[in-house]
Amino acid sequence: MKDQALVVVDMLYDFIDGSMACQNGDAAVDAAVEYIRKNPVPRLFVCDNHPADHCSFTEQGGPWPAHCVQGTRGGQIHGKLLPYCDEDLVFYKGRDRSREQYSGFEGVNDAGQTLGEVLGIMDIRNVIVCGIATEYCVRNTFEDLRKAGFTVYLVKDALAYVDYKGHLEAMAAMAQGGARLL
């Protein structure tokens, strides 16, 4: 199990049962928990974490309903995953109100380290990804991981998506980009 880690992207209430509830959200959480139980590798969590007036929101002219607002339940990691989550390995993104940020790669933990930096410190080469949404944050995180030279695996049952067709297109693009399916 050396040099492997799991990156859990945006498995947050707003993407599961909240303002941006995605397809397959609950099943994806259960699949992620099952994966973790069977594969005890280090886990890094990415969290969308927006100020209330973020440019991503329709009120500000953005494409999405308000979601994952700082300090709200919608921005919290699903309770089923909390037993497997270490605060030092939680990386926040989307805090800058003026820009959209789908990739978790530059998410920052409370100590100010980025996800990419911490993967480097941990000597990780193989990154397993699950989470939400396949077409947006999962895909962008995947692309940044590949650019940085990681081998990337996707836990296909542990993904949720805005739109099924979009999910399939993103899966095809990621397969083309070197994703290995688990």
Looking at residues 98 to 127 of the shown chain, list those that interact with ligand VGL (rule: CB under 6 A). 102
Q: Which of 13, 35, 105, 136 binds ligand VGL (CB under 6 A)?
A: 136
User: Phi and psi for 23 in degrees, rounded to 5?
Assistant: -70, 140
CB 45, CB 109: distance < 8 Å: no
List the one residue out of 134, 137, 177, 136 whose CA is nearest residue 155.
134
10 is catalytic: yes
For Zn ion, the closer CB: 94 or 116: 94
H or E element in which residue 43 lies:
strand 43-48
Q: Report angle CA 125, 128, 130 to the nearest 5 degrees.
A: 155
Active-site residue identified among 10, 14, 48, 144: 10
Q: Is 133 in the site for ligand VGL (CB under 6 A)?
A: yes
Candidates 79-87, 122-130, 132-140, 163-171: pick the segment binding ligand VGL (CB under 6 A).
132-140
68 is catalytic: no
CA 150 to chain centre: 16
DSSP-assigned letters across all residues of 52-78: TT-TTBGGGT-SB-S-SBTTSGGGSBP
By the criterion CB under 5 A, which residues form the site for Zn ion? 48, 56, 94
Q: Is 48 in the site for ligand VGL (CB under 6 A)?
A: yes
Looking at residues 64 to 93 of the shown chain, list those that interact with ligand VGL (rule: CB under 6 A). 64
Q: Shortest Cβ distance from residue 137 to Zn ion (Å)? A: 8
Q: Report the interface residues with ligand VGL, using CB under 6 A.
A: 10, 48, 56, 64, 102, 132-133, 136-137
